[in-house]
Amino acid sequence: MAKSDVLYVTDAECAARIGLPTQDFKDTLPALERAGLPLKDPLFNNRRYWPAVRAFLDKRNGLASSFQRRNPAPLKEAKGPEVW
């Protein structure tokens, strides 16, 4: 199994995937956990679930998990030939 396929990661592995030195990542953990970073799971040897960490980071950086808009704007009728 490739390292990138591992679902539950240590803080050091999490830091490496993010691209931070381990100590820098550990220094930011209290603030990140208050903001919603997934906590360590005791059933999985106190490791973090990487897909949830990735989703947290995506959301924190403005990436939506879905392209569905909450209040979609009404579609305007096309005038003339459609251009794609």
CA gyration radius for the chain?
Answer: 19
pLDDT attached to residue 65: 61
pLDDT attached to residue 78: 56
Mean pLDDT, the chain, whole residue set? 86
| Helices 11-18, 50-60: inter-axial angle, 10-degree rounding | 40
Domain residue spans of the chain: 3-60
Nearest in space to 57 (alpha carbons), one of 84, 81, 83, 28: 28
pLDDT attached to residue 3: 74
Of the chain, the percentage scoring pLDDT greater than 70 comes to: 75
Half-sphere exposure of residue 41, counting CA atoms within 13 Å on the CB side? 12
